[in-house]
Chains A and B, each alone.
Chain A
Amino acid sequence: MTYSPARVRELLTRIAEPLRAAPASTELSALLARLDAFQQLPDERLDATTALEASGAPLGAMRVIPGPSRGLVGATANELKKLAEAELAAHAERAAQAALEAERKASDFDATLPAARVERGALHPIVAVTRELEDLFTSMGWTVLDGPEVETEHFNFDALNIQPDHPARETMDTFWVATPPGAPRLVMRTHTSPVQVRAMKRLKPPFRAIVPGKVFRNESVDASHEHTFHQMEGLVVGKNISVGHLIGAMKTLLRGIFGREIEIRLRPGYFPFVEPGFELDARCPFCKDGCSVCKRSTWIELLPCGMVHPNVLRAGGIDPEQWTGFAFGLGLSRLVMLRYSIDDIRHLLGGDVRFVSQF
């Protein structure tokens, strides 16, 4: 039954009727007077709150109601109470809905107000890219190896087929470590390649390994040259490993780095520890017909690579008649710069938080 003042009056009438018929008493007269007062209120004042109050009048005075009427009056009064309570609940719900609607139609909202400050840190971009490559290669069954930054002359040069009077030793701008006379000579490793021979000595072929790490060259520093930078060596030794496998692996590497098929080309390049040796160029991922990154050539010189020289395999204790392999040396620093369009290599190791926090 829906709430209306008429309905309230009707219920009040039904409560009053048996009371009027009952023997009069002072209390009963007072109750009837109160009920009449409610009865006579105008519609607009006979709201649910008042109706609840009205239902309370007989319910609070049950003991003055003569026995025979009590049941009927009580039941009717309760009916009035429920009617009033239901109306109050409905009213509250309507108000709540209206408030929700008002909130949904908020007019004081500015989407551009700044956020609350949340502290954040960052991995260094070299670490982030190294991890990506490690994950890519380990998912293909490659091992990740590490090697010392302070390296012996033997592993950095001799074992890599770079003989003592080889010009490469001088052109590599080596940092030589002061060592006592007679002790093995030490260098700051000029490349990650020495880990090739260390790996051969430790792992039994067949194996596939990458070696990310820091390398050092004593050359003057400018926006594109650093005396300390990062490389990632790759080495595969197995049965019948061929140039074809090298090409396949490099295409997979580039697919991993750039997320799509990248055209490559191999051209001759000379490095004493590989034969044949190649320079691998990738079709510039940033342009169609030349840009500043590829120096207008549409090719980016990406990495030196080649088939492991038999002398290097021998230095690692591996029989070059039984096993062959390929190796590559990816310029990690350069790749990071390409990836994030970093125009000055000195930012990488410069230790400025404003740089690192961008990544």
Chain B
Amino acid sequence: MKISYSWLTRHVDLAGVSAHDVARELTLSTAEVEGVHAFLPHLGDVTVGHVVERDKHPDADKLSVCKVDVGQGELLQIVCGAPNVRAGLKVAVATSGVTLPGDFKIKKSKIRGVESNGMICSERELGLGDEHNGIWELPLELRVGDKVASALGAQDWVIEIDNKSLTHRPDLWGHRGIARELAAILRRPLKPLDAAAQPWSASKAGEVAVRIETPNCSRYIALAVQGARADKSPLWLKRLLLAVGQRPIDLLVDLSNFVMLDLGQPNHLFDRRRLSADGIAVRMARAGESMKTLDGVERKLEPSDMLICSGDAPVALAGVMGGESSKVEGDTSQLVLEVATFHPTVVRRTSTRLGLRTDSSARFEKNLDPELAPLAARHLVHLLRAEQPDVRVVGAPTDVGDWKSTARRVPMRFERVRAMLGADISDDGILDILKRLEFGIEANSNGACVVLVPSFRGTKDVTLEQDLVEEVGRIHRYGNIPERELEGALTPPPRDEGWKRRMLVRRVEDRLALAAHFHQLVSYSFVHDGLLEKLGLAATPHVTVQNSIAEGFSRVRRSVMPSVLAVLEANRRRSASVALFEVGKGYVPSEGHEPLEVHEVALALCAAPAKKDARFDHNSLARLKGVVEDVVRSLGLEAGAWRKCESAPSWANPGRCAELRIGDVLVGELAPLEPGLARALGLSGELESDTALARLSIDALLGAAQRSKLYQPLPQFPDTLVDVALALPEERAAADATAAIERCGKGVVAGLELFDLYRGPNVGEGRKSLAWHVVLRASDRTLTDQDVKKFLERVEREAANLGGVLRRE
């Protein structure tokens, strides 16, 4: 919201207080100020010009060639691209040599072959805001050749307040409300409003008949106004409106806007001659009804929309916008002024649904004080009569509605205020602040009192003692509250599930990022439909949002793996090898309940394909397996056992998927990327990759058995190294053979390393050769050749049991 500094001075004396001071005071006590800028900052250099002639540019449809009088005797030829430029306008002209905001220097130039001697400026070009629909149309009575700044009167400053910081303060949606805050902060009196205004008494049966047929309108005031003319507004009014970004139209429209921006109370003028003799009705719309609003758009209505009707015909969308049919045009001699209080939610819903957010709806949806309505009505009439003394209010104003005063009583304990703020403010100090804010005090005794909250603060903002704490705190200033240390026993956080998971995740992350040199991802929880389709998961139930950020991004991942897959191709394109992991959550929907939350880590290792004759463990799958085993080991868990996975996840090559179990607990899966998916993800052809993936369940790791960590005595006798090679049937698992070798050297096999896997003519079809480095060691003696020989004989027999043979060199 834009607030004009000089407008504020109509309500409070700001002598010695600059616009920047105002901004700072408001920031620290009331609302967020986004900026202060001088109104008309560059206008000291810009000249009032009069567009005498306007012709089409010979070579460009959208350009005009204007002859502009800037009081220099001869007319300036200026090329202008604005759609609204036309003969007769008074405009702001930057002549050659003038510098505009953004260090934009105006020079004589040729535009599409036509000479241009300056620029006719839009408001945005002059730093007056964002208005850039065309050039700025100045009031017509300004004198040609004057500098725009001086022609428009005193310099002003515009204080831009963040609307979001005013959502709970309906009283601050006008200059008077802001001035009232400043008066309280600065300890200056608020000037009385319209001290000279005539008192008037309204009645339910006034001149204009009004029926309220919905509980959503709590107050409706209607006045019949006679003899008003749609003159041009006086300069003071135009200047204030311009400063806050309102385009002056005529006195009636401008005063209506002025009162809204002054007091925060929207109001509306109808042409009385176009209203039915049955008077005005306020009702909810009926299904299928529609009306044309002032902007010329035909609006389909819903039963949740509130209407102002003439008889039964809609003439305004209550609180949002007037209707075309009762628009004031031409003859303004008979008007009806509406000042009403509408239900905030009804107005907000309608304006949101129609995408019609107006200055009026913005105010109503904050919940206006019904007691503001008569003030606004009287204010408008008073200002109108000041300009047009022969304007009359016909008959008695009508004032109907079952509104109740929003003023309320809130009990307050002084000690509670001090304790909550942690500030040592005396009872009197607290009372002083509340009084400055126009709060009343009753029944002050025994350290407590009852605070009378004025109606303009009682609509929803101040209802509890806690709210009064805020009032006292913000005027006292939070900066004056001394900082305090938290006290109390320092006990370590409980070692609960959450703590254990956090510690485990940290260790997993450290191991992967710092030891295995993987890069950590933190990704979106949404996963694209296209990827789910490729994964064959399109039909699997997912948590799904109704309003996705983009087409196809409505589903929430069940597992972390898709997030990792989503970025593989892009990273592989940039790097020969990619090692990624993400620790995160997946959500599995559960009908009628909150979805099940799973914690996982997904790993991907992606590199150029391994060489044909590479060692059996020189590939991504084997490397990733090593990483997974290292993680498990570093978590202090039992090593667990790998076996072929019978129900491979959709990302895994089902023929080569292994699962890891620790005891009975399934910890995760490891596999090369499903080959069809590799193609679909672009990891084929030029980006042909050897990609291995693994998923580990954090939840399962948390429950897995811990490895014994008891000390083992260091060996006292030397190692004997022997290599063992077995030719085995293809289906025999390496782990089985390894276990067999261990059995053969029970108690003396101190280490085993499988170092070769070979298939070929030397071992025969359907067979493979495996070779191990075996470390033999006894705990009580040095082993002899005889021991080794016996060991190998046992291996030979055991190999036969496995359907294989011990290979001798």
List residues of chain A with CB under 8 Å of any chain B CB: 119-124, 126-127, 131, 134, 138, 140-146, 148-150, 152, 165, 167-168, 170-171, 175-178, 180, 183-184, 186, 188, 206, 208, 214, 216, 218, 221, 227-228, 230, 236, 238, 240-245, 247-249, 251, 265-270, 275-279, 307, 309-310, 324, 348-354, 356-357
Contact = CB atoms under 8 A, between A and B. Distances in A.
A240 B522 contact: no
A279 B32 contact: yes
A158 B65 CA distance: 61
Which 5 residue pairs are nearest across A and B when measured between Cβ atoms? A244-B422, A242-B422, A351-B567, A276-B470, A266-B478
A352 B575 CA distance: 11
Given A148-B597, A249-B486, A356 B420 contact: no
Interface stretch (B147-155, B270-278, B316-324, B492-500): B492-500
Given A266-B479, A270-B168, A353-B571, A275 B469 contact: yes
Given A167-B167, A177-B546, A121 B579 contact: yes
A268 B164 CA distance: 12
B525 A247 contact: no
Where chain B touches its partner, the secondary structure class is mixed
A228 B556 CA distance: 12
Interface stretch (B39-47, B244-252, B512-520): B512-520
Contacts of A183: 591-593
A270 B519 contact: no
B490 A228 contact: no
A62 B598 CA distance: 92
Given A148-B594, A227-B524, A307-B469, 10 more contacts: A119-B517, A121-B514, A122-B520, A124-B520, A183-B592, A208-B486, A245-B484, A249-B486, A267-B29, A307-B420
Interface string B449-469: 000000000000000101101
17 contacts: A141-B491, A175-B549, A242-B481, A266-B479, A267-B27, A267-B478, A269-B32, A270-B169, A275-B467, A276-B469, A279-B32, A307-B420, A309-B466, A310-B464, A349-B522, A351-B563, A356-B519
Contacts of A178: 544-546
Interface of B: 27-32, 164-165, 167-169, 345, 348, 352, 365, 419-423, 464, 466-467, 469-470, 473-474, 478-479, 481-486, 488-494, 498-499, 501-502, 506, 509-510, 512-514, 516-526, 543-549, 556, 563, 566-567, 570-571, 574-575, 578-580, 585, 587, 591-595, 597
A121 B499 contact: no
Contacts, number: 229
A279 B792 CA distance: 77
Given A150-B556, A243-B421, A245-B422, A121 B516 contact: yes
A177 B544 contact: yes
User: Among the interface residues B419, B478, B548, which one has the most CB atoms of the partner chain A within 10 A?
Assistant: B478
A180 B592 contact: yes
Contacts of B543: 150, 177, 186
A188 B345 contact: no
A121 B526 contact: no
B421 A244 contact: yes
B486 A267 contact: no
B520 A356 contact: yes
A152 B543 CA distance: 13
User: Among the interface residues A138, A184, A242, A353, which one has the most CB atoms of the partner chain B within 10 A?
Assistant: A353
Given A170-B352, A249-B486, A143 B494 contact: yes
B34 to A, nearest CB: 9
A269 to B, nearest CB: 7
A206 to B, nearest CB: 6
Contacts of B506: 131
A216 B525 contact: yes
A242 B486 contact: no
A175 B544 CA distance: 9
Contact of A242 (B168, B419, B464): B419
B525 A149 contact: yes
Nearest to A145: B498
B484 A227 contact: no
B726 to A, nearest CB: 34
Contacts of A134: 502
Contacts of A245: 422, 484-486
A267 B655 CA distance: 63
Given A178-B544, A245-B422, A353-B574, A150 B587 contact: yes
A97 B513 CA distance: 46
A244 B30 CA distance: 19
Nearest to B545: A175
B491 A247 contact: no
B336 to A, nearest CB: 31
A247 B520 contact: no
A354 B486 contact: no
Nearest to B563: A351
A143 B352 CA distance: 41
B218 to A, nearest CB: 16
